[in-house]
Structure 1
Amino acid sequence: MPFIRVTINEPDLAAETTRRIAEGLTELAVSALNKSAARTTVHLSLVPAALVYIAGAPVTGTGATAAHVEASITAGTTSAAEKEAFIRGAYELLKETLGALPPVAGVALHELHPESYGYNGITQLEHYRAS
Structure 2
Amino acid sequence: MPHIRATVTDPDLPADVRRALAEGLTRLAVSALGKSAARTIVHLDLVPADRYYVAGKTLAEGARDAHLEVSITAGTNSAAQKAAFISEAAAFLTELLGPLARGGVALHELHPESYGYQGVTQFDHYRLTRN
TM over 0.5: yes
> Match of 2:11, SS?
coil
Please state how far the C-alpha of 1:64 moved relative to its aligned partner.
Answer: 2.5
Note the aligned Cα RMSD (angstroms).
0.8
1:88 matched to which residue of 2?
A: 87
Confirm whether residue 37 of structure 1 aligns to residue 37 of structure 2.
Answer: yes
Please state how far the C-alpha of 1:60 moved relative to its aligned partner.
Answer: 3.4
Point out 4+ residue stretches in structure 1 off by more than 6 angstroms: none
Within a 5 Å distance, the mapping from 1:1-131 to structure 2 comes to: 1-61=1-61, 63-102=62-101, 104-131=102-129
Normalization by structure 2: what TM-score? Answer: 0.96
Structure 1 residue identity aligned to 2:98: G
Normalization by structure 1: what TM-score? Answer: 0.96
Unpaired runs of 5+ in structure 1? none
Please state how far the C-alpha of 1:100 moved relative to its aligned partner.
Answer: 1.2
Instruction: Figure out how many residues of one structure are paired with residues of the other and give that number.
Output: 129
Please state how far the C-alpha of 1:33 moved relative to its aligned partner.
Answer: 0.1
CA offsets, 1:38-68, max 9 Å, x none?
A: 000000000000000111110132x431100
> Match of 1:65, SS?
coil
> Match of 1:45, SS?
strand
Structure 1 residue identity aligned to 2:121: T
Question: Quick one: percent identity of the two aligned structures?
Answer: 63
Unpaired runs of 5+ in structure 2? none
